[in-house]
């Protein structure tokens, strides 16, 4: 069985698009990785903590997937906004600039663990304060790293992207597919 250790509807949607049959079992504990880590390593470690929290609830033949996403700009890490004012601050910071979206992932099957992260660069057009306030008022930014959803109304903020689109949504589909296939082959060939 494939298990998603996340309550994210976006991650589940991407897994369905990938044609995967899976169960959802969100991690119950959040452990923050060391703040000294770079954004890629930070998200990979956070994803591993989530997968490790869920894996003991399943058997050694099951594969558990954890994931975590952050936005980085100018050395600042942006997670989910704490409120409307924080969302406004984040979007103002991203306006007219290019930022990086990191999604870390962890796969656990039995005693085998695979971790990694994917990076996508996203450019925003210049945004007026009124546009930012209007977008924040929709509520869409509130549960998303960097305070925007590229797959929703936030699509009009984005002027360009370099990398995996699905990574910006929080689940690097191509990379995870490749890692799942490699893991499956290792267990099939064993």
Nearest to 179 by CA among 123, 111, 106, 119: 106
β-bridge mates for residue 105, sequence order: 67, 116
- In the three-class reduction of DSSP (H, G, I as helix; E, B as strand; rest coil), residue 67 is classed as strand
- Distance between CA atoms of residues 179 and 158, nearest Å: 29
Angle at 117 between CA 184 and CA 160, to 5 degrees: 120
Q: Give me the active site residues, please.
A: 68
Nearest to 14 by CA among 184, 179, 167: 167
What is each CA distance from 93 to 96, 129, 146, in whole angstroms?
8, 11, 10
């Amino acid at each position: 069985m494939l298990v998603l250790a996340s309550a994210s509807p976006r991650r589940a949607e991407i897994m369905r698009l990938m044609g995967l049959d899976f169960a959802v079992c969100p991690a119950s504990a959040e452990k923050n990785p060391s703040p000294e880590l770079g954004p890629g390593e930070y998200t990979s470690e956070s994803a591993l903590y989530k997968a490790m929290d869920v894996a003991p609830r399943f058997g050694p033949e099951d594969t558990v997937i954890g994931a975590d996403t952050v936005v980085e700009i100018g050395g600042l890490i942006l997670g989910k906004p704490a409120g409307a004012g924080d969302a406004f601050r984040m979007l103002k910071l991203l306006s007219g600039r290019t930022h990086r979206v990191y999604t870390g992932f962890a796969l656990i099957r039995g005693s085998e663990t695979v971790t990694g992260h994917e990076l996508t660069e996203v450019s925003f057009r210049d945004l007026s304060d009124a546009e930012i306030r209007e977008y924040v008022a929709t509520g869409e930014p509130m549960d998303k790293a960097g305070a925007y959803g590229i797959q929703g109304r936030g699509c009009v903020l984005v002027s360009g992207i370099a990398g995996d689109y699905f990574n910006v949504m929080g689940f690097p589909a191509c990379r995870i597919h490749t890692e799942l296939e490699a893991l499956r082959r290792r267990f099939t060939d064993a």
